[in-house]
Structure 1
Amino acid sequence: MKEKNTPKIASVPGGEGGAPPAGKRGSPGIRLLTALIFLAVAGYFGIQIYSALADPMICAVAYRYQTEDTLSVTGFVVRDEETLGDSGGGLLRLTRSEGERVSAGGTVAQIYADQASLDRQTEIDRLRTQLDQLNYAAEAASAGGAALQLDGLISEALLSVRRSVAADRLDTAADAAAELEALTLRREYTYTDAAELKAQAEELKSQLSALTAQSAGRSRTVAAPRSGLYSAVADGYESVLTPDMLDTLTPSALAAVRPAEGAGDLGKLVLGDAWYFAASLSAADAERLSVGSAQTLRFAKGVDRDLRVTVQSVSAAENGRCVAVFRGTAYLAQLTLLRAQTADVVFSAISGIRVPQQAIRVDESGAPGVYCVVGAEARFKPVRLLWSSDDGYALVEAEGTGAAILRPGDQVILSAGGLTDGAVVSYAG
């Protein structure tokens, strides 16, 4: 009987199922090291994520700022004024600009019998201006730098027109525009030779002589009865609000002020050198003012500068209101058109570097300061607190030296954990 050949299964080292040798599966030490590295990396990133979420570093930019302690009031500008009477018919032509000083007997206006007479005078003025430009060009023809000088004057005149328009002072803008036109004509004549300039001047003189002869007796002059500043606008308050009544003015009387009828149509003269501002305010606010004290007044419109004034009087309280009268002596010529006004009384102004109050901390010695981002580090910069507001900001002054001086533009740290001088921070923007 033949035996069946049964296939033999070769034994594989490592035991049943083909498992690898124990030495090839990795030792317990390697597995432990791998686990430790994994836990360390995971722990590091976990701590960073927790720190960022639990106490993120927040920064703000420090910048220069000024705050003011002000009081807003409303009232009237008062001056010593005299109206100029009715023109008595005819066409009026003013010869003075707004705020121009006029001597007693000086001409403030011309009144013409008809439109033809007024047009003739307008042409006379135009020819006189043109003749002045020709004479200037003839005198400056020998000066090599005349053209360059005129270019500079034209540039200044352009800037003057722009400033006047931006400040809403159309009266001064008109004067600046007239000056610009005159300078432009002078510049144009610099290209004309001397012989031609002389011929044009003679022709203009001939035309002026003829027009002047035709206009004789066709107009009358309005003269100033006394010296003062001329204003073309009479609004009816000239006889209602006077300096003499201010010390006894009550809040109810000020509220009842109305312009008078029939103001002079030739304008007015502003007399003296002082102006006044009578304002209504609450009795509580009036307690902040003391008679004789110097204050700063800032009108809401019409004047582009702060005005130094003195508190002349403060009335007794009436139904919780008072009248304060401020007196000024500067810039009267620029206030001739002002009447009803809103103004701010500026008691004080504080300038400093604005930072969030949250950023102010104290160091080990108890000195106040702020931490700033310098490169990749937090640096402590000492400060002195000047002012703090209700909205969470403060004005400070730098107290440090060298690199520890707080400057506008520094990144001030508001919130971050474990802040110390020289600590490495992750925020750099």
Structure 2
Amino acid sequence: MKQGHILNRIVMFTLLGAILAYLGASVWQNLTGRMTTTISYSYTLDDEAEATGFLVRAEYVLPERSALADVLPAEGEKVAVNETVAYLYQDAAALERRQTIRKLNMELEQLNETASLAGDLSDSARLTDEIMAELTSLRASVSSRDFTSLEDDSLKLKSLVYQRDYTYESGGDAAGLQTRIADISSQRESLIAAAGQDTSVVRADKSGVYSGVVDGYESLLTPDNVFSLTPSTLDSMAVNAPTGEAGAVGKLITGTRWYFVCSVSEAQSKRLTEGWQVKIRFSRDWSGEVSMRVEQVGQAENGRVPIVFSSTHYLSDITLLRRQTVDIVYSSITGIRVPKNALLQDEAGQWGVFAVVGAQAEFKSVTIVGDDEDYYLVQPLIPATDLNKEVAKKALRPGDEIILRADGLFDGKVVRS
């Protein structure tokens, strides 16, 4: 019995050893021979250089000054000749009076609208429907973070609510409504008469784009002197920045063309030619990419060259910008981004990558068009638009699953069961 028991133990340990050896071999194979993949995607590689300079515009500073001002146009808004830009107040009482006049104007407008609808029995239901529609519109605007018309939409909603409430309260009393309109009109006229003594109006004596920031550069940087600025002048302006004018109401940008002037190294300046269009990428105080014309490649000064770019686009978006650091994009190329360790050569020396197609590995030939640290930018040797559909299938496309590591790869190998 003892001999049989020992024999059973030997068999058991032998089987256990075989199982452990099998499991160990499987784990080792999985750790060392498993396939690693990634997804390729379209990418644009820019040849760019950083530069710091100034934005130059034709700017007219409004001459009026006041500690209390009510500015009407928004930043970047276009203003016509003789359009009211601001109201200036002598004291806080004058400002409060103006705000009261504005509220009365709004209330009077709402009452007149309500009076024009009197007698229509469906008005209350219509107003309720319009209020619900306006609430839905406001909610959608806030959810999408689109605040461009939020103020106007809010005022419209208030007007609709006021009209409906007054319709309910008055019970359709047209005479009472007209009395209320007359009372508010009288109050408004009295306040307007009093405002004539301590309130003045600022009107635009020329058309332009309004900006509320007067930084002191308006007379130092102009379209007339932008082509005579040198690197040392730009350095001096950056160090000795002027101060803005206290109490200034704002300024008007009167020209449609604006400029960006900066200094670059001589090597970088040789890559620019007057008349060329170059992309200038802003990413600090404003995010955007502007196609700008190279107006001037100036004379070198101590190894640096002044460059003047110009554009007529995005003027209303860049009114607050002055000294900016930008990226000058000399050229761009678009391709498919793949990790460097995925690229290899076939027997003929052709570069390419293995991609998973169905259950097999397929070699897709590519041409390297860009190199940036840990990846290559490639384009398929065979265009995906080739008229021969069978040939076009061999082209590498964005979204293909690229094999980074696997043992014994060859074209057509089954890599997935």
Question: Could you say whether these structures have the same fold, taking a TM-score greater than 0.5 normalized by the shorter chain as the test?
Answer: yes
Aligned to 1:128: 105
Pairing partner for 1:419 from 394, 409, 413 = 409
- Spell out, residue by residue over 1:247-302, the C-alpha distance to the aligned partner (whole angstroms, 9 max, x if none): 12110111112444673722222111111111122121111111111011122234
Identical-residue share of aligned pairs (%): 36
How many residue pairs get aligned? The number is: 381
Deviation for aligned residue 1:72? 1.0
The counterpart of 1:233, out of the listed 213, 223, 243, is 213
Closer/same/farther in 2, CA of residues 117 and 48 from structure 1, 3 Å limit: closer
Greater alpha carbon shift after TM alignment, 255-264 vs 76-85: 255-264
- Cα distance in 1, alignment partners of residues 271 and 346 from structure 2: 39
Flag the structure with larger Rg.
Answer: 1
1:150 to 134, 154, 162: 134
The answer to whether structure 1 residue 224 and structure 2 residue 209 are counterparts is: no
Q: CA distance change for structure 1 residues 404 and 201 in 2, over 3 Å: closer, same or farther?
A: farther
Q: Unaligned 5+ residue runs, structure 1?
A: 1-40, 165-171
Question: Equivalents in 2 of 1:127, 1:84: separation in Å?
Answer: 29
Q: Give 1:19-98 correspondences, 5 Å limit.
A: 57-87=35-65, 91-98=68-75
Q: Distance in 2 between matches of 1:122 and 1:81?
A: 30
Matched letter for residue 340 of structure 2: Q
Matching of residue 296 in structure 1 with residue 276 in structure 2: no
CA RMSD of aligned residues (A): 3.8
CA distance in 1, matches of 2:270, 2:124: 68
Q: One-letter code of the match for 2:377?
A: L
CA distance in structure 1 between the aligned counterparts of 2:364 and 2:45, rounded to whole angstroms = 22
Cα distance change on mapping 1:177 and 1:361 into 2, 3 Å? same
Q: CA deviation at 1:212?
A: 2.2
CA contact (8 A) 2:336 2:379 kept: yes
Question: Compared with structure 1, are the counterparts of its residues 55 and 90 closer, same or farther at alpha carbon in structure 2 (3 Å cutoff)?
Answer: closer
* SS, match of residue 255 in structure 2: strand
Gap change, CA 1:152 and 1:52, over 3 Å in 2: closer
2:188 paired with 1:208: yes
2:267 counterpart residue number: 284
After superposition, give the CA deviation of every residue in 1:131-183 in whole Å (9 maximum; x if it has no partner): 445555676848956346534542454367x356xxxxxxx6xxx44224213
Q: Structure 1 48/131 Cα, relative in aligned 2: closer, same or farther at 3 Å?
A: same
Contact 2:56 2:261 in 1 (8 A): yes
1:71 counterpart letter in structure 2: A
Residue 182, structure 1, aligned to residue 140, structure 2: no
So what's the TM-score if we normalise by structure 1?
Answer: 0.75
Which segment is superposed worse, 127-136 or 233-242? 127-136
Aligned to 1:387: 369
Could you give the per-residue CA deviations for residues 17-43 of structure 1, whole angstroms, max 9, x where no partner exists?
Answer: xxxxxxxxxxxxxxxxxxxxxxxx999
Deviation at 1:392, TM superposition (A): 3.3
- State TM-score, norm by structure 2: 0.77
> Given residue 115 of structure 1, which amino acid in structure 2 is its aligned partner?
A
Distance 1:120 1:356, change over 3 A: same
Question: How far did 1:62 drift?
Answer: 2.1
- Give me the whole-angstrom Cα distance separating, in 2, the residues matched to 1:131 and 1:404: 72
In 2, are the aligned partners of 1:158 and 1:180 still within 8 Å (CA)? Answer: no
Instruction: Report the Cα offset of residue 325 of structure 1.
Output: 0.8
* In structure 2, distance between residues paired with 1:74 and 1:202: 61
Q: 1:410 to 1:43 in 2, by over 3 A?
A: farther
